[in-house]
Amino acid sequence: MFKGSIPAVITPFSENKVDYDSLTKVLTHLIDNGSHGLVPCGTTGESPTLSHDEHKKIIEETIRVTDKRIPVIAGTGSNNTLEAIEYTDHAENSGADAALIVTPYYNKPTQSGLYEHFRVIAEKTNIPIIIYNIPGRSIVDMSIETMIELSKIKNIIGVKDATNDLFRPLITRKKMQNEFCYLSGEDGTALAYLAQGGHGCISVTANVAPKLCSEMHIAWQESNILKAQEINLKLSSLHNSLFIESSPGPVKYAASLLGLCNENTRLPLSQINDDTKKAVKNCLQELELL
């Protein structure tokens, strides 16, 4: 079962190419500061802008640097089922611990289409699969009923829930017959999600505040609710600032201030504005991260 603080890892770029030296620096920083897992090539890693070769090499490098110290959940989703199978098969053969697969964006599949998409990928691979349900970006929303049916497939083992609907995990858990891993995809409500039965969070904020995010989850696991709430309150302004503009623009700027990588994103994401930069920098200073 995956749990705790799991950064959705940023992809550093230099002159519009993947900066693998900075990627190693980022990964080492996250591991050394207590992260409980890593997700390369997710939304925060700008996966839609990566070439096939870049996507695969980033996953390989993450697995190499991590060296089995913590789990690697490789982002392998696509709105092309055949491509998602290719990425998932590669992640499995490379030694990833699980695959994070997003609901197909742009195509707008029906619930039947969503079921078949995940069923086919699961049957073509053996790696544990986590469903990534993020209606705000993919437009489609996997229903609880569809998720329950998919959970009956042996290697579909959990969900990254980025709906921000805190009633949903309760309803799903009540109806779900099988053991299932519940991971939040929303930093601002991650602690509340834990209270609803969640196991952890695939986090943007953990890229730049990995120790605090890890300590919050550990406090929760140890039933130190007051400490978890205290850390959550500390992080609240940073959570907010990292989503003033489209992620990962703000978090990459924050990472640049920490000396982890530069702030470059790939088009169609552009540089964040000065007001956003000021807000992000202020939050890092308040947390004494700068």
Q: What are the catalytic residues?
A: 132, 160
Rounded Cα–Cα distance for residues 92 and 126 (Å): 8
Rounded Cα–Cα distance for residues 128 and 4 (Å): 18
Positive or negative, the Cα torsion across 25, 29, 32, 35?
negative
DSSP 112-150: HHHHHHHHHHHHH--S-EEEEE-HHHHS----HHHHHHH
Positive or negative, the Cα torsion across 235, 240, 242, 243?
positive
Rounded Cα–Cα distance for residues 37 and 184 (Å): 14
Residues ≥6 apart with Cβ < 8 Å to 91: 59, 74, 76, 99, 127
Chain Cα centroid distance, residue 62: 14
CB 209 within 8 A of CB 241: no
* Strand 4-7 with 200-203, pairing: parallel
**Cβ atoms within 10 Å, residue 217:** 26
Rounded Cα–Cα distance for residues 242 and 252 (Å): 9
